[in-house]
């Protein structure tokens, strides 16, 4: 987010109310359908829950061991990805000091967490790194469930005999089919069936890196945010001014799983 303060904008009155703030930059904001509250994560090493309707909007706070890089929710689960490759999994109804997270994990990937998204069926989540890899994880801590987790390489290309690796900038699960899309600094968006462990589709490459992606509520559209992300240094950045854009694609049956769990 790039700032510390948190505001509520009222569409009817066109007014803005200051709800509160973190001590350092807010890095991620998510909405919990389970509680109808907003949750913010910050570089000040805290997560906070907010109810804009309350006279005291900040209704929960938890202090973490590291800075928050990514967050995602599904059902009553909140996954928090932090610096140091640490992951905490919370019950969104119990985010407060003194209440321990349900699980504490270390990333399956070796490098910094760049993207995070939860499965639509609530069974787990996918996380991605700056080093062109994605890991598929499951909430169930049983050995049988944990044996199903895996990681794979992606957003890589061999050019003139040299291997080029790009960061995975964003992940998004389809709300109906439970497949997921990945977006990379290579300008590519790929669709994955994590159950069959295969790529279903790769869209034609865009002129700049893809920085973010999101499905609409019924999964019929996929929004793709394209802009330069400094993958090729400052010289290319100057040439890319004014080229940022959002493309909305129709998402059809090509996103369906090829095999069912």
Structural domain includes residue 3: no
Structural domain includes residue 1: no
Structural domain includes residue 13: no
**Structural domain that includes position 37:** 21-255
Residue 3, classified by CB atoms within 10 Å of its CB into exposed (0-12), middle (13-18) or buried (19+), is exposed
Structural domain includes residue 15: no
The residue to which tokens 């804009």 are assigned = 52
Structural domain includes residue 10: no
Give pTM, 2 decimals: 0.90
pLDDT per residue rounded down to tens, the chain (261 residues): 456 887 777 778 888 878 788 999 999 999 999 999 999 999 999 999 999 888 889 999 999 999 999 999 999 999 999 999 999 999 999 999 999 999 999 999 999 999 999 999 999 999 999 999 999 999 999 999 999 999 999 998 878 888 889 999 999 999 999 999 999 999 999 999 999 999 999 999 998 899 999 999 999 999 999 998 776 666 666 666 667 899 999 998 889 987 654
Structural domain includes residue 4: no
CA-based nearest residue to 91, from 44, 52, 100? 100
Q: 54: Cβ–Cβ under 8 A, 6 or more apart, which residues?
A: none
pLDDT computed for residue 9 by the predictor = 75
CA-based nearest residue to 208, from 190, 225, 191? 225
Structural domain includes residue 43: yes
Total structural domains within the chain: 1
Q: 46: Cβ–Cβ under 8 A, 6 or more apart, which residues?
A: 22, 23, 61, 62, 63, 64, 68
Residue 213, classified by CB atoms within 10 Å of its CB into exposed (0-12), middle (13-18) or buried (19+), is buried
Q: What is the CATH number of the domain that holds 152?
A: 2.130.10.10
pLDDT computed for residue 6 by the predictor = 72
Structural domain includes residue 152: yes
pLDDT computed for residue 4 by the predictor = 82
pLDDT computed for residue 232 by the predictor = 66
């Amino acid at each position: 987010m790039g700032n510390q303060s948190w505001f509520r904008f009222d569409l009817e009155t066109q007014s803005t109310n200051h709800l509160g703030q973190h001590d350092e930059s807010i890095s991620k904001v998510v909405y919990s359908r389970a509680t109808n509250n907003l949750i913010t994560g910050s570089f000040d090493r805290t997560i906070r829950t907010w109810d804009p309707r309350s006279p005291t909007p900040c209704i929960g706070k938890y202090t973490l061991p590291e800075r928050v890089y990514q967050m995602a929710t599904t059902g009553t689960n909140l996954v928090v990805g932090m610096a140091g490759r640490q992951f905490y999994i919370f019950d969104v109804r119990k985010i407060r000091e003194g209440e321990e997270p349900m699980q504490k994990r270390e990333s399956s990937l070796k490098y910094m967490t760049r993207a995070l998204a939860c499965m639509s069926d609530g069974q787990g989540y996918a996380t991605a790194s700056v080093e062109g890899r994605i890991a598929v994880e499951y909430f169930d801590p049983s050995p049988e469930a944990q044996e199903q987790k895996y990681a794979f390489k992606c957003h890589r290309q061999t050019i003139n005999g040299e291997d080029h690796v790009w960061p995975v900038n964003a992940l998004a699960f389809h709300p109906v089919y439970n497949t997921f899309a990945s977006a990379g600094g290579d300008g590519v968006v790929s669709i994955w069936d994590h159950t069959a462990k295969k790529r279903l589709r790769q869209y034609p490459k865009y002129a700049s890196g893809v920085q973010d992606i999101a499905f609409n509520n019924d999964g019929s559209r996929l929004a793709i945010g394209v802009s330069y992300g400094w993958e090729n240094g400052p010289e290319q950045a100057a040439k890319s001014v004014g080229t940022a854009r959002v493309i909305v694609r129709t998402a059809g049956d090509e996103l369906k799983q090829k095999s069912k769990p």
